[in-house]
Structure formats: structure tokens, C-alpha cells
A = this chain, B = another copy of it.
């Protein structure tokens, strides 16, 4: 038992040091590791399997809306990156530059893509001639590189994995519809699959993407009360089209510029899963995203028939992602390990259970134990996973709601930010000066102007001038 406990005790408790707790979970749950390449990480099998499941489910949802996958080059020639002025200003300071190919210096240096708007624009300028070529609704799954100074597993690293959708449309309206459609797709995915409730809204101009007309975002609240931007969708209008000359002939034979969007989700979602659902025993995975949903732990497995029974149950549960832990570790150790890895449901089966035609089902999130009949095991497991998925979302929403505050004046606002981690809803005049002041004085940033606007007061929480919008504010990752 000393050994069994050790695995658990090695985690810092989240109340003591949330950042340390996070790193401990990442390491102990075997999700990733650091490498000799500074700022870059290894996705280990348990971490990559989470990303594969995210990919699989997102990709399925994308394709239902007409998205087609493509793959564009890793490199962007410097002259191409520079074509759109705002965009290059946003990204040039943080890209990695390739200067040599083989033994020769390149005639023009290239950066490793930090994002691929410029490549898609270059491609679309050739591909799109007529209204018949529209819309283009393309996406790619790849890695991108941003030369960050400070890095954190999954949340910020010099290379990360993501998908980036890039679309071109005949009309501004169609582009706006696609921008919002993808944001809602992201939000639904987070809520339905990751059990993470999100606030859907629009970024202020200060916080929008380099080169975008409008950026939409989903914002999630982590267990420590900090916000995590979890997916963004941008409407570019015809700005990039003008910079890159992407024009089509319409039905009246007139030349028009296309309207574009882009939208992306990244491996930082894994960080969100950890920080929304994890506890002091490790990771807690929502059943719908868990690479292993059910771990069967035989008790007294050396006794005749126990292991066979465990394998029999595994085979019966083949509709789920199920494994038997038949290693030579003690049951206590196996319980602790399955908890650390966040496996949603554990089934304990020993000689006495077999005799009584029953098994013990234990939920990872609330540790609730049920003794269930083996006759209806499939049903019991299905119900338990469904209930757990639903209750995890409800619990996360209750946490988010109980950590969302309202401020009507600046003193109140500052007091909340200083003392109560979470979102603060407050009115804003629309001036960047107020955003800047708030950020400087409180370190909170505007997270978004939610679609679901509320009228909290008539005036800006910062300057007292007439308010234009209600904003979610918070400290963010």
C-alpha cells in the first residue's frame, strides 16, 4: 500500500499550487514530455490518443458541413508572408526562419508556417476564376511553429498541432455565416464531447487576429478561475483577397473579390480538459473523448477463473473502449494508476463477485461505486458513461457560473479581479484605452463580447462613458 499511495501522493495538490499540479498531471498521466529541442514537446501515446480522438470527432463534424481536407506547404517565402500588412506585423516577430537548403543559402529565406492564410491566398488566387469555383471550404491538419519565449505543456509551445480551415466565398454574407457556423461547431464540440461549457462571442479589435475584420472566440473557464481561449473563427472580409488578388467572374461577367474566413482549434484543448476536469488524483477524462473508457481490474487474479472472467467481460463490452489490467501489480496500484490516467470507469471483478454474478463499477469523477449484475453489465456501463458525461458538463457549468461575477464600477471590478478568480461581466465603451488601462492595472483582458449580451449598466466600467457592449473579462492563459 505504501507504493500504491506514492503514485498519488507525488501530485502537488491543486489548492497548493495549481501550475505545479498541472505539470504533475501532465507528467504522471504520461501525456507528454520535454525534449532536447527547447520549447518543443513529445506527445506520448496517452496524449496523442486524446488528440486523435479530438481530430476524429472534429473532422467528422467538419465534413458534415462540406469541409474538404487539403495539405499546403510547411514553408512560406518571406515575400509571401509580407503581402498582407497587418498579418506580417502580427506574425513576423515570432516565426522560425529557414535560410539554407542542403549546403546552399536560399535566394529568399522562408519561415516555417505560423498559420497558413498567406499560402491559402496564394493557392486560391490561382484556383479561383469563376463563381463556379466558389465556395472553397478547405481545412488542413498540421503542425505550426511560433517562436514563443515562455512555454507550457499543451498551452503554449514553439510547435503545436492544430487544424486550420480556410474558406473563400462569393459574398460577405456567406463568409459571415461560415465564420459563425464554425464557431458554433467548436462550441458544440466542446460542450457535447469535452464536457467543457464555453462563452461564445466576439473579440474586441485589440484582441482580434492579425489581418482579420472580426474574430470570434469560445472562452472556457479553468478550475483555477483563469480563462482559456479554446477556438477562434475569423472573418477576413475581402482584405486578404485584395492583397493577393483573389478575384472571380460573377454571373454578370463582372470581376469581384472573394470574402474569406479561417478558423482553428489546437492541442491546447488537451490543456483545457486537464484544467477543467482534473482533480488531486490526476486526470479525469470525459467518456466521449477517453482513449480507454473502461478499465477492468481483476481482484485476486491468481485465483482460478478470475482472469478468464475479466477477459470475458472485456469481450462482452467490445462496444466500448475497454482494457483489462492483467499486469502483476496490486489492485490498489492499478486503481491509483487508472485514476491518474483519468479512465472514466473502472470495473472490479474478483472471486466473490463472480460467485454472486456481479461486478463493482466505479466512476472516476465522483468515485461513486455501484454493485451491478453481470447479466446487464453492458447496460450498466453504458448508463454510467452517459451519466458521467452529462454530469461532468453540469459540474463544469456550475463551477463556471459560480465563478462569473458582475461589476458595475471600477472599484468593484478591481476588487473582484484581485480576489475572486473567474470571469467578470462588465460594460465597456468600445475604446481600446479602457482595455489597455484595465490590462495594465489588473492584468485582466477582454475575453469576448458574448453573443448573449446583457444590460448591466449604461456606462463603461472603466471610464464611465456610455457603454457599447457587455464584455467578459478575466485573467487568461
Contacts and interface: CB of A to CB of B under 8 A. Distances in A.
A37 B75 contact: yes
A40 B75 contact: yes
B95 A37 contact: no
Nearest to A104: B147
Contacts of A33: 123, 126-127
Interface residues of A, number: 51
A461 to B, nearest CB: 35
A80 B74 CA distance: 22
Contact of A80 (B36, B43, B103, B112): B36
A350 B5 CA distance: 72
Residue among A93, A101, A145 having the largest count of chain B Cβ atoms under 10 Å: A101
Interface in A93-141: 93-103, 110, 112, 119, 122-123, 126-127, 138
Contact of A74 (B49, B100, B126, B145): B145
A71 B33 CA distance: 11
A467 B322 CA distance: 54
A100 B96 contact: yes
Contacts of A123: 33, 35, 42
Given A42-B123, A112-B112, A48 B70 contact: yes
B143 A74 contact: yes
B99 A97 contact: yes
Given A37-B75, A122-B36, A147 B102 contact: yes
A119 B35 contact: yes
A52 B35 contact: no
Nearest to A41: B73
26 contacts: A33-B126, A33-B127, A35-B72, A35-B122, A36-B77, A36-B80, A36-B122, A37-B73, A40-B75, A42-B70, A42-B71, A44-B70, A48-B68, A48-B69, A48-B70, A49-B68, A71-B143, A71-B161, A93-B102, A94-B102, A96-B98, A96-B102, A97-B99, A97-B101, A101-B158, A112-B112
Interface of A: 33, 35-37, 40-45, 48-49, 51-52, 68-77, 80, 93-103, 110, 112, 119, 122-123, 126-127, 138, 142-143, 145, 147, 158-159, 161
Q: Which 4 A-B pairs have the closest CB atoms?
A: A40-B73, A45-B68, A101-B147, A43-B71
